[in-house]
Amino acid sequence: MKSLARYTRNLPVLLSSVLAALWVWYSQATQEATALFLGIIAGGLVDLDNRLTGRIRNIFFTLLHFSAASLAVQLTMGHNLAFALLLTAAAFGVTLAGAVDIRYRTIAFGTLLVMMYTVLSYQPGMAWYTNPLMIVCGALLYSLCTLLLHIVLPHRPVQEAMAAAYRRLGDYMLEKAQFFDPDEADYLHSKEVSLALKNSHVVNAFNACRSALFYRLRSQHRHPRTVRMLQYYLAAQNMHERISSRHVEYRDFAHHLEHSDLIYRIQRLIVLQAHSCYALAHTVLADGDFVCDDTLKRAGSGLSRALTRYLKHFPAEEHHALQQLVANILAISDQIQRMEHIRLTPMADGEDSRIAGQDIEHWHEIGGIIRSHLNLESAVFRHAVRMAAISVAGCGLATLFHPHLGYWILLTALIVCQPNYSATTSRLKQRVIGTLAGVAVGSLLPYFTPSLFSQLCVVVASGTLFFVFRTARYSYSTFFITLQVLAGFALMGQDLHAALYIRAIDTVLGAAIAWAAVSYLWPDWHYLTLGKTGVRALQGNAGYLKQALAQLERGHADDVTYRSARRLAHERAVALGNSVSDMSIEPARYGSKLQDGFQLLQLNYAVISSISAIGALRSQLYGDARDAAFITAFCQVGQAVADIMQHTDTREPERFQAACAWIEQALLALKPEEHGPAPAANHILWAQLHRLSERLPAYFDTLRHSLDQDDENGPSRAAQPV
């Protein structure tokens, strides 16, 4: 089903390519074919999901940008200085525009590619308007096919995003289940890093769902299927908060219960919940009705009985954390079982059903965002300068070696060069391998495609397969796009064997330029501010904690404000995880920073897990379970903890230590009696806040060490306290 979804998603490029091929075959317009097919590729690369009116608006602005860019290139061809200045300015400008949001970034980069496609399909004997017209027509043809698919399957992108989110959530649950294996209790250190990285995948998948839902929920009429997808989304977020919460110290817990079947039942139930998430993903894609496996229900009942039996055998022990852990896991099972009735459950339009906005509302906001990136501290600005430098170098080499096909050097360099070193080197290797393989196979094309029909078949098939593998296997997609370009040159009657060698050499040269740019022009390891990223993650956690505390006082409400704070905390945790992941690819360049990175990642995940546990408890505090006096005092101490997290200043350790000492005393005074009459929720809340506060000194020390190392890179790059 997952692979079927990928092919369904690529139906527009197949349909538009077939229609273009039929026109070329019927009219014998072989000279215009390459530009037409490249226009289809460009249209596919900037395809952005939206509701129908939003898609039409995106298409209008995309075609406007493509027309202007292609015409500008066409009119400056043959004027080397003007062309170089145009391309350099465009490379810098469109890269900087990407700082606004993903939609600007997508259309801007597509516009840059259209400029290069205009160069590659340029022929001196053709009318000046032919290539721009063909490229725009190709993009328009693809866009019309996407509109047709949207009319037929308007909810398919949301379904695919939702299915991906549930698959990622299932992966996370399987990883979390390993923490309840007694035989692995002494080896959980590395698993915590792996779990944090799995959490990054979940958060990214949730953001894709949020984007798909946001544009469909803006209309006044909410389609029932969109409402159902929203319910799936909110349920997934609820389950993620519960499964990511930490109620016990896993190592001690595993050793304590290693001879009890209770821990194995917990692990088995989490595994079954993961499989239920996979089943939900399949159901969403198939647009069917979810049926919960009875095995999950029986496993939940068995865990409840095992807990009751354990409590009877060990009545003298403190079991609040264990009981809450089991209750939390059983609540996930209850949530999964309720998914059977989502089709039948109406949803009121209110704060609980809103999705946080993500669009730029006013034009003046764009200027402010761009201005904030006009400095070398900004990775976007550094990348924009690199892209401009690459354009200058590429244009020079292209003019020196070959006035036309030599621009493959520039195209390769611009595509391969990524904002950071690790991503560039990864793409560079795949680009070279894919291109060389494509050149090798492409050398056989004249022997197997002697007719126009066979050449068009290769163009259609390779263009479609390029999109099929574009996000999954970049080397494969490079292989297929190389075949398409070579087949396009064969259609135009160019010397294919000469183009083969030039393509291979230019790809290697372009990859070398991209590598040199990220290695020597403001490389990552001179600007990595791990401490600053850690501070931002801690501040995101502070906002999440404040919202959880506010809901403890006011009562449970899964509103957009709470969900936005939770999302921000997880997104900043993802940013920290990405930084550590990039560092781990080049450990020799970062030295002791890498160890600080892993330490910060583990500490941050422990902090966010404790906050998730507090958040998961919000819905249980009612009736006899709610101690109003305790909640008020608890929230006061919690606010003090959040304030420390929000305003961490590593230059004032004495102030931090004094605040921690006050919190420690306040928590001791607040601690419920172990066998007293206080509700169980009091013990659980206190334990979570105490666990969170215990990790703050280690977090502070690691941040301080990281910020000191950042300062050694230069005073201009020192992370400032917030």
Question: Is residue 283 a contact partner of residue 289, using CB atoms and an 8 Å limit?
Answer: yes
d(CA 473, CA 480): 11
d(CA 170, CA 193): 17
d(CA 150, CA 686): 51
Whether the CA torsion 524, 530, 535, 538 is positive or negative: it is positive
Whole-structure pTM value: 0.85
Question: Is residue 632 a contact partner of residue 553, using CB atoms and an 8 Å limit?
Answer: yes
Q: Which two tokens stand for residue 439?
A: 């050149």
**DSSP-derived secondary structure for 262-308:** HHHHHHHHHHHHHHHHHHHHHHHHHT------HHHHHHHHHHHHHHH
The one-letter amino acid at 357: G
Q: Which two tokens stand for residue 496?
A: 């294919």
Alpha carbon of residue 53 to chain centroid = 26
d(CA 579, CA 599): 13
The one-letter amino acid at 368: G
Q: Which two tokens stand for residue 214?
A: 């946001």
Q: What is the mean pLDDT of each run of 10 residues along the chain (722 residues)?
A: 62 94 90 91 89 88 92 87 90 86 84 89 82 93 93 86 94 94 83 87 90 74 79 91 89 86 93 95 88 91 92 72 90 91 61 58 71 83 92 84 71 89 87 91 83 90 91 88 87 76 85 91 78 89 92 76 88 87 76 81 90 82 67 91 83 83 91 74 87 90 77 44 30
d(CA 299, CA 586): 44
**DSSP-derived secondary structure for 310-325:** HHHH-TTS--HHHHHH
The per-residue pLDDT for 718 is 36
Neighbouring residues of 221: CB distance < 8 A, sequence distance ≥ 6? none
The per-residue pLDDT for 461 is 93
**What count of residues does the chain have?**
722
Question: Is residue 261 a contact partner of residue 182, using CB atoms and an 8 Å limit?
Answer: no
d(CA 665, CA 153): 60
Q: At what angle do helices 2-9 and 156-177 cross, to 10 degrees?
A: 150
d(CA 680, CA 625): 7
Q: Which two tokens stand for residue 465?
A: 């397969």
Q: Which residue has the tokens 């892993």?
A: 598
The per-residue pLDDT for 174 is 95
| 265-289: b (≥16 Cβ within 10 Å) or e | bbbbbbbbbbebbbbbbbbbbeeee
The per-residue pLDDT for 721 is 32
Question: What radius of gyration, in Å, describes the C-alpha atoms of the chain?
Answer: 28
Q: Which of 541, 497, 517 is nearest to 648 (CA)?
A: 541
